[in-house]
């Protein structure tokens, strides 16, 4: 993938993340302030396709955004470049995706 495409992907995922993080934080604050228990929260999220879709999107954006950014930092600060670095970043992306989607699914299927 070209540097220009990576740049585009990183900016686009950042735009998604900016919104998603706000919604996520607002949800946490509302839930905590409202004194909801874990059980009550799960009661609202389980079976809710909208929450599943939101968190799936959040996870996908993070799995795109974080490895590209980390790759830039590694290239600049450690000089680790080339295929091995790209491969490691792809693995990181896959791990974020798998763990994140698993969590989103768990909240949905609870």
Residues that bind another protein (CB under 8 A): 2-5, 7-8, 11, 75-77, 79
Backbone dihedral region for residue 80 (phi beyond 0: left; psi -120 to 50: alpha; all else: beta) = beta
Give the nearer residue to another protein in terms of CB position, either 8 or 32. 8
Shortest Å distance, C-beta 57 to another protein: 21
Q: How far is the CB of 7 from another protein (least distance, A)?
A: 5
- Judged by CB, which is closer to another protein: 2, or 37? 2
CA pair distance 4, 110, nearest whole angstrom: 41
Nearer to another protein, 31 or 74 (CB): 74
Residue 31 exposed, middle or buried by CB count within 10 Å (0-12, 13-18, 19+) = middle
Nearer to another protein, 6 or 97 (CB): 6
CB of 92 to another protein, least distance (A): 19
Closest distance of CB 64 from another protein, Å: 15
Which of 52, 55, 53, 64 is closest to 15 using CA atoms? Answer: 64
Distances (CA, A) of 28 to 3, 20, 24: 36, 12, 6
């Amino acid at each position: 993938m070209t540097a220009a495409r990576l740049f585009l992907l990183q900016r686009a995922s950042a735009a998604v993340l900016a919104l998603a993080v706000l919604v996520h934080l607002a949800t946490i604050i509302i839930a905590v302030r409202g004194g909801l228990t874990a059980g009550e929260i799960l009661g609202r999220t389980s079976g809710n396709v909208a929450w599943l879709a939101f968190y799936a999107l959040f996870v996908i954006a993070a799995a795109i955004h974080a490895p590209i950014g980390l790759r830039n930092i590694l290239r600049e600060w450690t000089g680790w470049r080339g295929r091995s670095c790209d491969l490691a970043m792809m693995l990181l992306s896959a791990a974020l995706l798998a763990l994140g989607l698993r969590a989103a699914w768990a909240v949905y299927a609870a």
